[in-house]
Structure 1
Amino acid sequence: EPNLIYDKERSLTERNDLLSSIPPASGMVMSGQKVIDRGDIVDEYTYRVLNSFEREIKRRSATQNEITSTIIGQIILVTFMVTLFTIYLALFRRDYFNKPRSIAMLYSLITFFPVIVAIMMRHNFMSVYIVPFAMVPMFVRVFMDSRTAFISHVTMLLICTIAVRYQYEFIIIQIVAGLIAIYSLRELTRRAQVFKTGILVAMGSALVYLALQMIQDNDFTIMDHDMYYHFVVNGVLLLLAYPLMYIVEKMFGFVSSVTLFELSNTNRGLLRNLSEIAPGTFQHSITVGNLAAEIANKIGANSLLVRTGALYHDIGKMADPVFFTENQAGVNPHDHLDYKESARIIINHVTEGVKMAERENLPTIIRDFIVTHHGTGMTKFFYIKYKNEHPDEEIDPKPFEYPGPNPFTREQAILMIADGVEAASRSIAEYTEENIATLVNKIIDSDVADGYFKDCPITFRDIALAKVVLIERLKAIYHTRISYPEAKK
């Protein structure tokens, strides 16, 4: 029997150790050291040094060329993708260029995640699949629109492919995750929706990865099961979108649906004060908000926004509530005032409302409802009274005009219509269908004739639908009741 047994594994290990101990170079030449001078004899050592120096120069030159070529290619790809994204905005969302913060958010999002991916890949820090890329379409969908959300997501992913190893797999999985995020957040109204989105994105990503693995290899035993843990972590990190949404909202000046719901809470802040100080105005605001929301739903406008704006549009009346008819109890202080002074007090509720809104840090989009709900209209009651008492005097209409501006969004136009009609409807002597229809048509046609809607994108069709909604709703509000008979004694 042999008394010596060959250990192949140990022999290879020993051999490799010996090879690694052999220096790759003989001697050392310091940077700046003279190797040979003019007229010197080239001996064997000098020849080896010069030959080694030549090879090293070629190697470094080739490496530098490769790096330069890679960087140029990356610059070309990034520039091309950003250019295509900009062209999309210029062609289909030109209005965003009038909102610098919107543009800043879009370009920040499509830049931030590629930088994160590049850092992770360079330092081999975990897997890129734990990065919640679906946050990009979520933020853009909540604050802007679905189509821009998808284009932003795809642009960001294509830029990220510069750094990732398996581009095909990465693009497919992340596009599906982005689509799920967009579909599940069609309208963010509850915190639970973000939780549901995180679960759906994790499940969708895992399902797509499983499908790709089955297409490439039918053997389940050799599939990479660790990836599914990465998708779970991705779904958990996606829950951070809710607190981050508040930061993005404040940083870039947006107003989300969640914020509008919080602002429309009548049990806190200015709305609670309004209900206590000017209860008539508070009820008027609620009614106007309901009417405006009905119109917005009918014509496809933002019903939550217009309803919230309606709740705040008359908060300035809290400064002098008794000067407004809905808060009076039989005594009218205007009876003892000059018409110009009365007009000044009525008009002042707009400027006072803006001041209150600024003190409470209400979003600009809500403050706009306060300044536009009367536009550049006139306090016609006091103007006509003053004009009738001074028939021979040339009257300056400025003291009787609101500061404006006129509505410049559909939602603001809806509020002006609903506010004017609701206020005028209280003066109808008999609530018949004919009287209500006559009043609605008269008020709205007068607003159109006065040019209050020239600066906003509301159409004649929208106005016609608004009339129908208001007539039907006012008929329901002021419906007639039967008189109950009295019991005979």
Structure 2
Amino acid sequence: MEDSLDKLYKNQGLIYKYILYFVTVGCIVFFFPRGGKFKYEFQKGKPWQYENLYAPFDFSIRKGEEEISREQQSLREKQIPYYTYDTAVVAEVSQNFREDFQVLLDSQQLTERQKRRLSRIGEDILLELYRNGILQNTSGREVPEFLYLVRNNEASRVRTDALYSLSEVDSLVRDILKSRRAGDYYSIFQDVFFNAVRPNVTYDAELSEKELADELSKISTTRGNVDEGKLIIARGEVVEAENLNILNSLKAEFESELWSANNQYLILFGYTILVALVLMMLFLFLKKYRPAIYRNNIKVTFIFFNVLLMVFLTTLVVKYDEAYVFVVPLCILPLILKTFFDARLGLFVHVLTVLILGFVVPNSFEYIFLQIIAGIVTILTVSELYKRANLFISVGQITLIYIVGYFAFHIIHEGNLDDMNFFTFGFFLLNGMITLFAQPLIYIYEKIFGMVSDVSLLELSDTNSRLLKELSNKAPGTFHHSLQVANLAEAAANAVGANAMLTRVGALYHDIGKMNNPTYFTENQVTNVNPHDDIEPRESAEIIINHVIEGIEMAQRNNIPDRVIDFIRTHHGTTRVYYFYKKEMERNPETDEVAFTYPGPIPFSKETAILMMADSVEAASKSLVNPTYPVIEEFVEKIVNGQMKSNQFLNANITFKEIEMVKKVLKQKLTNIYHLRVEYPE
């Protein structure tokens, strides 16, 4: 039992990677759309590259979205709207008219015969007005030639001009009075009709929309059939509008039939194998070429999380509307990975992610081509993100590549620019704007995963930061030494293509542990009094060595990133405190060398190796009496070769050629620092 638990504890990192691997594969397959994959790839305007294709079964030819949209639009334009005839309004108007008109007639000096005659005329006018009704004001709505008038739950088709509007009431009253030779009484009728008449025919939106929906639902999504065995397309024939529609119909029918209860588990199994292969390539790449990242489970989780995020966003957009697929800012992935790791890893992960998305997106070849080209442009252009203009320039170039690529594909497919969808260019611009979100996203990732970007390094390099300010006050000599080392190391890192910003920051913080006992280090001694003269060499060595451990603890308390703390850990490697070791050897030849040796580890990156060389050379250069170029050259060779001889660079990915380049830079810089000046007369 204990052995099993011990093995489990020792292999917990590997077990975590297995769990991460299988969970990621499962999530990606779960995000995939449910459906089989048509075994033929085809594009409009390109020749059919396979053998003659015959219909494997009977299927219907599906109408394209544009064709269905045209039919729907035609139905909307031809639709006859429904209007409701309100009889209650007619009854109310009639009642009010009789009462008001009778009162008005009684106030006039008219005979009973005249009153009865005018009352009949008024009733006739009302009857005419409400025979088909008075239409309510239709401002903002186009009135059709015909409409359905719903009266007593029965709809009848009538001409719109058979209905009256309020503006026509006056002219109708005039015409009827004139025809009945009662024009002299117009003023009486005008007053009463102006107050009494109200519209009673209103637009019935609910009924109209319901009828339109019923009509739209009757539109057939297919037109014609293809019988089994019929030739669909011959080898070498160009895929054009006519056979493209048939091929798309066959593809949709094939995938819907393929995704049945019997086949769905096999299809899922196939997807799982392919996704597992892609992610396995990622694991193998990390293990072989990025072992430091592979061993760090947080970094591996970070990479897999970003892949999963991009797959999730893309599948979500495709399910909503595949036309928006290029809105997803996929180039954020290589941009972020290059920021935190390196360009090669960023491009590799981007390509693998695009291959996975090839199962999801329409026109997979076009999508994969554009995204890979855009990813390459991202890797080539994005650098020094702490300079704000760089990200905007890179995003502009990425957007331009998308637009040019889409433009070229459209010409290949259509052969002209007539149907160019310029709205798609807006998607690319939106993609670029979202890509700018990479800056705040980098900050969020730094806080969540404890990563370090160039922006954070730029902040740490500020000599007015609290820790460096404290170093300059407590140990000014060490602070000046750190600045000199930073300049040397940064120049050397630039020469060999290492991360110059990281190297500079590491150099600025590498000796912060000396703040605890500043006077025990020669660069901080302003008098001839040396505290080491009063203590044993072994104790002196312990104080010197402890500045590494104390520096690590101090950096951790101040939330300095681990990538910077690595420089504190490794800047002396496993070298000896040689001066005090020799003093102790003079007193006791059998002295244990371990007590005078730094605990390590030795440098394990190009940047930490450069710092070790720059630190040793700068510190020792203070002892040069006559620093001419030959002296400096011999001096640098001696120190760096001694470090190589003691195997300090075995774990660092730095070559002999790069070490020679570093030595050359150090010689040039030291020569510039110690160049001879002209002696001015007093």
Q: Which band: TM-score by shorter chain?
A: 0.7 to 0.9
Residue 464 (structure 1) aligned with residue 657 (structure 2): no
Q: Which secondary structure state, in structure 2, belongs to the residue aligned with residue 471 of structure 1? A: helix
The 1:462/1:77 distance shift into structure 2, 3 A limit, reads: closer
Q: Which secondary structure state, in structure 2, belongs to the residue aligned with residue 248 of structure 1? A: helix
The 1:129/1:463 distance shift into structure 2, 3 A limit, reads: closer
Q: Which moved more, 1:204-213 or 1:358-367?
A: 204-213
CA drift of 1:17 comes to: 5.1
Give, as a single letter, the amino acid of the residue that structure 2 aligns with 1:185: V
CA drift of 1:483 comes to: 1.0
Match of 1:440 among 636, 652, 658: 636
**Structure 2 CA distance for aligned equivalents of residues 132 and 273 of structure 1:** 43
Give, as a single letter, the amino acid of the residue that structure 2 aligns with 1:329: V
**Structure 1 CA distance for aligned equivalents of residues 259 and 440 of structure 2:** 49
Partner of 1:451: 647
The 1:61/1:272 distance shift into structure 2, 3 A limit, reads: closer
Residue 211 (structure 1) aligned with residue 408 (structure 2): yes
Contact preservation (8 Å) 2:366, 2:409: yes
Residue 292 (structure 1) aligned with residue 507 (structure 2): no
Give, as a single letter, the amino acid of the residue that structure 2 aligns with 1:265: D
The 1:351/1:201 distance shift into structure 2, 3 A limit, reads: same
Match of 2:532 among 325, 329, 334: 334
**Structure 1 CA distance for aligned equivalents of residues 468 and 336 of structure 2:** 29
Match of 1:323 among 501, 504, 520: 520
Partner of 1:420: 616
Q: Deviations over 1:347-370 (max 9, x none)?
A: 221111111100111111211111
Give, as a single letter, the amino acid of the residue that structure 2 aligns with 1:431: P
The 1:433/1:69 distance shift into structure 2, 3 A limit, reads: closer
Match of 1:384 among 574, 582, 597: 582
- Superposition map of 1:86-485 within 5 A: 86-90=283-287, 92-124=289-321, 127-218=324-415, 220-330=417-527, 331-388=529-586, 390-391=587-588, 394-485=590-681
**Structure 1 CA distance for aligned equivalents of residues 300 and 609 of structure 2:** 26
**Structure 2 CA distance for aligned equivalents of residues 122 and 157 of structure 1:** 17
Contact preservation (8 Å) 1:344, 1:399: yes
CA drift of 1:98 comes to: 2.4
Q: Deviations over 1:7-31 (max 9, x none)?
A: x9569x989959989xxxxxxxxxx
**Structure 2 CA distance for aligned equivalents of residues 298 and 456 of structure 1:** 17
The 1:282/1:16 distance shift into structure 2, 3 A limit, reads: closer
CA drift of 1:261 comes to: 1.7
The 1:339/1:80 distance shift into structure 2, 3 A limit, reads: closer
The 1:422/1:60 distance shift into structure 2, 3 A limit, reads: closer
Contact preservation (8 Å) 2:322, 2:362: no
**Structure 1 CA distance for aligned equivalents of residues 259 and 474 of structure 2:** 80
Contact preservation (8 Å) 1:274, 1:318: yes
The 1:295/1:215 distance shift into structure 2, 3 A limit, reads: same
**Structure 1 CA distance for aligned equivalents of residues 363 and 650 of structure 2:** 54
CA drift of 1:415 comes to: 1.5
CA drift of 1:345 comes to: 2.0
The 1:220/1:275 distance shift into structure 2, 3 A limit, reads: same
CA drift of 1:66 comes to: 5.6
CA drift of 1:135 comes to: 0.8
Give, as a single letter, the amino acid of the residue that structure 2 aligns with 1:449: K
CA drift of 1:133 comes to: 0.8
Give, as a single letter, the amino acid of the residue that structure 2 aligns with 1:354: I
Give, as a single letter, the amino acid of the residue that structure 2 aligns with 1:365: R
**Structure 1 CA distance for aligned equivalents of residues 493 and 482 of structure 2:** 16
**Structure 2 CA distance for aligned equivalents of residues 19 and 340 of structure 1:** 94
The 1:165/1:335 distance shift into structure 2, 3 A limit, reads: same
CA drift of 1:61 comes to: 11
Partner of 1:27: none
**Structure 2 CA distance for aligned equivalents of residues 115 and 77 of structure 1:** 17
Contact preservation (8 Å) 1:373, 1:415: yes
Greater helix content = 1
Contact preservation (8 Å) 1:347, 1:402: yes
CA drift of 1:423 comes to: 1.2
Give, as a single letter, the amino acid of the residue that structure 1 aligns with 2:545: I
The 1:368/1:91 distance shift into structure 2, 3 A limit, reads: closer
Matched-pair identity in %: 40
Q: Which secondary structure state, in structure 2, belongs to the residue aligned with residue 200 of structure 1? A: helix
Give, as a single letter, the amino acid of the residue that structure 2 aligns with 1:255: V
The 1:92/1:354 distance shift into structure 2, 3 A limit, reads: closer
Partner of 1:3: none
Q: Which moved more, 1:82-91 or 1:111-120?
A: 82-91
Tell me the TM-score normalised to structure 2 length: 0.59
**Structure 2 CA distance for aligned equivalents of residues 263 and 183 of structure 1:** 26
Contact preservation (8 Å) 1:191, 1:242: no
The 1:61/1:150 distance shift into structure 2, 3 A limit, reads: closer
**Structure 1 CA distance for aligned equivalents of residues 286 and 648 of structure 2:** 30
Contact preservation (8 Å) 1:129, 1:231: yes
Runs of 5+ consecutive residues of structure 2 not aligned to the other structure: 1-76, 81-209, 219-255
CA drift of 1:429 comes to: 1.8
CA drift of 1:89 comes to: 4.2
**Structure 2 CA distance for aligned equivalents of residues 428 and 302 of structure 1:** 30
Q: Which secondary structure state, in structure 2, belongs to the residue aligned with residue 173 of structure 1? A: helix
Cα RMSD after superposing both structures: 3.0
The 1:407/1:205 distance shift into structure 2, 3 A limit, reads: same
Contact preservation (8 Å) 2:506, 2:564: yes
**Structure 2 CA distance for aligned equivalents of residues 430 and 383 of structure 1:** 27
CA drift of 1:325 comes to: 1.2
Greater strand content = 2
**Structure 1 CA distance for aligned equivalents of residues 450 and 308 of structure 2:** 19
The 1:402/1:75 distance shift into structure 2, 3 A limit, reads: closer
CA drift of 1:161 comes to: 2.8
Q: Deviations over 1:380-419 (max 9, x none)?
A: 222222332x25x632334333222222222222212211
Q: Which has the higher contact order (CA 8 A, sep 6+)?
A: 2
Runs of 5+ consecutive residues of structure 1 not aligned to the other structure: 1-7, 22-58
Give, as a single letter, the amino acid of the residue that structure 2 aligns with 1:200: Q
Give, as a single letter, the amino acid of the residue that structure 1 aligns with 2:646: D
Contact preservation (8 Å) 1:316, 1:354: yes
**Structure 1 CA distance for aligned equivalents of residues 279 and 584 of structure 2:** 61
The 1:412/1:10 distance shift into structure 2, 3 A limit, reads: closer
**Structure 2 CA distance for aligned equivalents of residues 240 and 94 of structure 1:** 30
Give, as a single letter, the amino acid of the residue that structure 1 aligns with 2:592: D
Q: Which secondary structure state, in structure 2, belongs to the residue aligned with residue 307 of structure 1? A: helix
Contact preservation (8 Å) 2:384, 2:390: no
Tell me the TM-score normalised to structure 1 length: 0.81
Contact preservation (8 Å) 2:383, 2:390: no
Give, as a single letter, the amino acid of the residue that structure 1 aligns with 2:560: L
Q: Deviations over 1:97-121 (max 9, x none)?
A: 2232332233222222222222333
